[in-house]
């Protein structure tokens, strides 16, 4: 893939990924009863929504910024932990493998974004 096409693909996928997580984070900062009930079903306290909301908003911003590479790396890692934790929580709460696989879709998109970022970084250094 040509460097320009690689960069455009990276930004489209990354912006969509971050937008979804940013909006999810905002929703978790202002939870409705359904979200609180979902957390209770998973065995977590309602205040975890606030923690996750702040983390998702901050992580989305960290991935979109272009200056601090280490912060971006940590944000990607944080989302990996979030999605694996979400999948395992769903599975262990008894909701089954199909429901538990849903967060893995976002994990795949995250890995695509991350790999494209690394490719654009290596092309920039050439």
- Asked if residue 6 lies in contact with residue 126, where contact means CB atoms within 8 angstroms, the answer is no
Does residue 126 surpass a pLDDT of 90?
no
In three-state secondary structure terms, 31 is coil
Residue 41: which of 88, 102, 94 has the closest Cα?
Answer: 94
Confidence band for 4, pLDDT divided at 50, 70 and 90 = very high
pLDDT of 62: 98
Confidence band for 1, pLDDT divided at 50, 70 and 90 = confident
Residue with tokens 């493998």: 97
Distances (CA, A) of 45 to 30, 39, 116: 15, 7, 36
Q: What residue spans define the domains of the chain?
A: 3-119
pLDDT of 48: 97
pLDDT of 56: 98
């Amino acid at each position: 893939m040509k460097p320009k096409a690689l960069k455009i693909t990276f930004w489209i996928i990354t912006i969509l990924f971050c937008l979804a997580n940013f909006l999810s984070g905002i929703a978790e900062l202002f939870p409705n009863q359904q979200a609180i009930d979902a957390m209770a079903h998973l065995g977590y306290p309602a205040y975890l929504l606030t923690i996750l909301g702040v983390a998702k908003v901050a992580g989305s911003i960290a991935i979109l910024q272009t200056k601090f590479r280490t912060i971006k790396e940590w944000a990607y890692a944080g989302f990996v932990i979030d999605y694996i934790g979400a999948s395992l929580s769903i599975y262990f709460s008894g909701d089954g493998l199909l429901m538990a696989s849903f967060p893995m879709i976002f994990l795949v998109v995250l890995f695509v974004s991350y790999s494209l970022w690394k490719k654009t970084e290596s092309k920039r250094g050439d």
